[in-house]
Amino acid sequence: MSGKQTIKGLSPLKENSVSYKKQTSGDESMRGLFDLTGKVALVTGSSRGLGKSLAEGLGEAGATLILNGTNPDNLNRAVSDLRARGLAAQGILFDVTQPDQIRAALDEIRKDHDAIDILVNNAGIQIRHPAIEFPFEDWDRMIRADLSSIFYVSRLVAPGMIERRSGKIINICSLLSEVARPTVSAYTAAKGGVKLLTKSMAVEWGPCNIQCNGIGPGYFDTEMNRALIDNPEFNAWVCKRTPLGRWGEPKDLKGPVVFLASSASDYVNGHILYIDGGLLAGI
């Protein structure tokens, strides 16, 4: 078996055959670099919480938004809210853990849009158990929802990006892609996997001019973390442990996601950007 790799839609690279060519991306002013006007962004798990904020940031930068979820009421509410703010948004129901549903959803999206320019893999769940007691079915569910789903969606969106030789994929990692806490072994394993999956995608699809990066949120004030926020001891620990002395807020993710989705990050590939108030910087 040859050690050389061929990506569908991309001619094999011959050794010593690659030469530098200046890349041009249109308006190279600072405003132009961050402008997403004309881009279509699919954000999974975006009917509420951080996913909705990520989508909102992309929309405020000019992108047309495709929101995703599995609860029709939440999804319709999110679409209506973003439209009320003057953003171009539509919603599509599908389960990111089901490849057949993903394929059907992408077929529907193609009826309205020529391409998906930006993919944000945000959907995920959290289940807590001590590792010694973690039910096998919950482990499998977590890995499928928080790791396998990112591969499924990316695997089915990437061919269009490869054909156009253009695309941005942003995978939502976590502080727990780097460190661990008790009772979240499956989540930690999944998010650690997302970190290296992101790097693998960057290496394989980078030659097709697709930038694959990750965002690793620290402790954020979200519905998923409500029990932790309402726990005085844990709340105080987070504020003390985080150099900035506070929990993250959804707006703190808007700038990073726009950066990684825009031409401003055209030479950033395989990077995980941690948005954690400096928590990982200390011991």
The single residue of 20, 152, 187, 267 carrying the catalytic annotation is: 187
Average pLDDT in the 62-84 region?
A: 98
Please enumerate in sequence order all residues whose Cβ is within 8 A of that of 53, keeping only pairs 6 or more positions apart, or say none. 250, 251, 253, 254
% of the chain at pLDDT higher than 90:
87
Banded model confidence at residue 224, pLDDT cuts 50, 70, 90: confident
Average pLDDT over residues 139-143: 98
pLDDT category, 1, cuts 50, 70, 90? very low
pLDDT of residue 213: 99
d(CA 94, CA 102): 6
Q: What per-residue confidence (pLDDT) applies to 27?
A: 77
Mean pLDDT of 116-129: 97
pLDDT at 141: 98
267 is catalytic: no
Domains of the chain, first to last: 30-220+249-281 (3.40.50.720)
Q: What is the pLDDT of residues 193-204, one digit of tens each?
A: 999 999 999 999
The mean pLDDT of the chain is 93
